[in-house]
Amino acid sequence: MKFAVISFPGSNCDWDMYYAINDALGEEADMVSSESTDLDQYDGVLIPGGFSYGDYLRSGAIARFAPVMKAVKKLADAGKPVLGVCNGFQILVEAGLLPGSLQNNTSMEFISDWAPLKVVNNRTMFTNGYSKDQVIKVPIAHGEGNYYCDDATLQELKDNDQIVFTYEENPNGSCDNIAGITNRAGNVLGMMPHPERAVESILGGTDGLTLFKSILNQVRS
């Protein structure tokens, strides 16, 4: 399976994602510039964390206009997996591929720590390797990770099983403890925690590797 890791000006987790796929997972990934306009050769897209375009205006607000995003939308519309992590989540929200918004942490401080997450929905292409309600540990590193949506949108997320991960100990004020959601079709996942930083024991844990293995399970089943 071949993934595109999208690198924007200011991305700083792109090589972490690249390593997770090529070395830890043993699959193929290319580093792809945000100026690219064609992703047809790829089976999935990974949008990493960092500070795209310096986080000017709002996190992800400028990145949504990058040339590559039209190709990302095309691939998402085709049902292929799209994963956005941290700033990648913010970009997906700004681009309209996921509902809601990401706001400043309620502490108004940048948080870097390990976070216990509950796998609320294990029936997605990103979570089929986990057990329902399994608690995993994945690193977080963000200043604007406070997920917000209005009541109607929150109810839709619940009704359609789009809430995939929730925090066991809410670090940022996210509504309903939300840490990760999918689109209604289930092939676009945005999450604030960093699974690519939890793919080897030497990094502190391997719970994140199961997410990437789940994608392979889905595609190859």
Q: What is the largest distance, in Å, between two alpha-carbon atoms of the chain?
A: 44
Distance CA 34, CA 68 (A): 5
The percentage of the chain sitting over the pLDDT mark of 70, rounded to a whole number, equals 100
Task: Confirm whether pTM is higher than 0.95.
Answer: yes
Residue 144 designated active-site: no
Residue 91 has pLDDT above 90, yes or no: yes
Q: Which of 27, 94, 144, 196 is catalytic?
A: 196
**Looking at residue 221, what is its pLDDT?**
76
pLDDT given at position 123: 97
For residue 194, indicate whether it is catalytic: yes
87 backbone dihedrals φ, ψ, rounded to 5°: -60, -30
pLDDT digits (tens, 9 = 90+) for 45-61: 999 999 999 998 899 99
pLDDT interval class at 214 (50, 70, 90): very high
The pLDDT of residue 115 is 98
CA pair distance 213, 134, nearest whole angstrom: 16
Contact 136, 130 (CB under 8 A): yes
Burial string for 73-86 (b: 16+ CB within 10 Å, else e) reads bebbeeebbbbbbb
- Type of residue numbered 177: N
Residues 27, 86, 94, 144: which is the catalytic one? 86
Give the pLDDT of residue 219. Answer: 82
pLDDT at 57: 85
Q: What is the mean pLDDT of residues 104-124?
A: 97
With cut-offs at 50, 70 and 90, classify the pLDDT of residue 130: very high
| pLDDT of 148 | 98
b/e code 112-147 from CB counts within 10 Å (16+ = b): eeebebbbbbbebbbbbbbeeeeebbbbbbbbbbbb
Mean pLDDT, the chain, whole residue set: 97
Q: Which of 13, 94, 142, 194 is catalytic?
A: 194
d(Cα 212, Cα 208) in Å, to the nearest integer? Answer: 7
Q: Per residue in 174-208, pLDDT tens?
A: 999 999 999 999 999 999 999 999 999 999 999 99
For residue 202 the two structure tokens come to 């030497």
Going from the N-terminus, what domains does the chain have, and what CATH number goes with each? 2-220 (3.40.50.880)
Strands (E), 60-184: 82-85, 101-103, 111-119, 135-142, 146-148, 163-167, 178-182
In Å, what is the CA distance from 50 to each residue of 4, 25, 85, 201? 16, 22, 9, 23
